[in-house]
């Protein structure tokens, strides 16, 4: 959706000769309408896409963006959001926000923004690092950077923010994905809950009676064999994988493919006895203990879940715990 493509839109506007500035929330206090890292693109004609405050201060930010397009200088702005304005956008009380406004082609070089857009298209995580005065601006994946530990922590938490030394780190993570092998009953509430939590779910099941559009309306369903589907989907570090079929012919190839990938989570449905047999098969297939230790099984947090929906809650809770806490 367009509100998720703010850097891309700003680059398109700039390359079309329309001018573009990017406004980014760098700090918030109190009940701020939008989180740190939220962005607004402004064209030279005053067109906007995105939001930094849900509507409270957009007009002032647009005016400043047009000024920065005129002189090429970044601006670091602070705004107070009144209780009345906050209530108008659905908040109980007001707060304050700081917004960094940068012109594309000026403070933000076109090639730097193009590199960011390219990384986003290829699902490569990057951090945009800068200071409000425009110094120290760079793109980095993290390793080898002077701020590598802070960047790694922020990438894991999906949390942009200001460091104590005044450096702003904007995190650009790929969207989260959930690959579910087995279009069984548990998968129905699981994919729905995952989508609410910001995941892009994909179902894999070659059995047509299970992976049907009637059972999973609007969901992406692959009917090829799990090893082929996993190869095509190429799980990365922003992907969780859950196997639910109980059928070794379907689960085991998907598990081996997941273990060969950098996916951040792999959970497998089944009892302790079922999992012990699974481990025997994996070891026979040459899978080492270090890889096997990545498997969460029986899948989900132990919350006493019974129904398919409750089991889905436990699975998604464990995925969230792994993503945020490691």
Tens digit of each residue's pLDDT (9 = 90 or more) over 110-168: 999 999 999 999 989 999 999 988 788 999 999 999 999 999 999 988 899 999 999 99
Non-local CB neighbours of 36 within 8 Å, separated by 6+ positions: 25, 26, 27, 28, 159, 160, 161, 162
As a whole-number percent, the residues of the chain with pLDDT over 90 amount to: 79
pLDDT of residue 326: 74
Question: Average pLDDT of 228-251?
Answer: 94
**pLDDT for 35 beyond 70:** yes
- What is the model's pTM? 0.76
What per-residue confidence (pLDDT) applies to 148? 96
Residue 119, Cβ density class (10 Å: 0-12 exposed, 13-18 middle, ≥19 buried): middle
- Over 70: is that where the pLDDT of 39 sits? yes
Give the position of tokens 């087995």. 182
Q: For 76-88, what is the mean pLDDT?
A: 69
Using pLDDT thresholds of 50, 70 and 90, give the confidence band for residue 294. very high
Separation between Cα atoms, residue 275 and residue 6, nearest integer Å: 44
- The whole-chain average pLDDT of the chain stands at 91
Instruction: Quick: pLDDT tens for 186-212.
Output: 999 999 999 999 899 999 999 988 988
């Amino acid at each position: 959706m367009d509100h998720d493509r703010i850097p891309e839109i700003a680059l398109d506007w700039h390359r079309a000769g329309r001018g573009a500035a990017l406004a980014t929330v760098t700090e918030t206090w109190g009940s701020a309408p939008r989180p740190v890292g939220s962005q607004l693109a402004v064209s030279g004609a005053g067109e906007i896409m995105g939001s930094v405050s849900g509507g409270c201060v957009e007009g002032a930010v647009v005016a400043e963006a047009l000024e920065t397009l005129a002189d090429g200088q970044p601006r670091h702005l602070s705004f107070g959001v009144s209780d009345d304005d906050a209530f108008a956008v659905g908040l109980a009380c007001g707060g304050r926000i700081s917004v960094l406004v940068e012109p594309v082609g000026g403070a933000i070089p076109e090639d730097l923004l193009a590199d960011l857009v390219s990384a986003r298209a290829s699902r490569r995580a990057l951090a945009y690092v800068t200071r409000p005065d425009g110094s120290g601006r760079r793109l980095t994946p993290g390793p080898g950077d002077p701020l590598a530990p802070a960047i790694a922590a922020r990438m894991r938490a999906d949390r942009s923010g200001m460091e104590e030394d005044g450096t702003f780190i904007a995190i650009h993570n790929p969207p989260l994905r959930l690959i579910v092998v087995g279009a069984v009953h548990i998968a129905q509430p699981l994919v729905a809950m995952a989508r609410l939590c910001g995941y892009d779910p994909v179902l894999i099941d070659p059995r047509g009676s299970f992976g049907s559009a009637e059972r999973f309306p609007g969901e992406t369903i692959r009917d090829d064999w799990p090893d082929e589907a996993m190869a095509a989907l190429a799980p990365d570090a922003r992907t969780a994988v859950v196997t639910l079929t109980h059928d070794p012919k379907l689960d085991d190839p998907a598990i081996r493919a997941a273990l060969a990938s950098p996916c951040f989570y792999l959970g497998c449905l089944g009892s302790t006895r079922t999992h012990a047999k699974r481990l025997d098969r994996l070891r026979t297939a040459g899978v080492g203990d270090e890889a096997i230790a990545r498997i969460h099984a029986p899948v989900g947090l132990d919350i006493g879940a019974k129904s398919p929906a409750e089991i889905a809650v436990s699975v998604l809770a464990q995925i969230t715990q792994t993503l945020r806490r490691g």
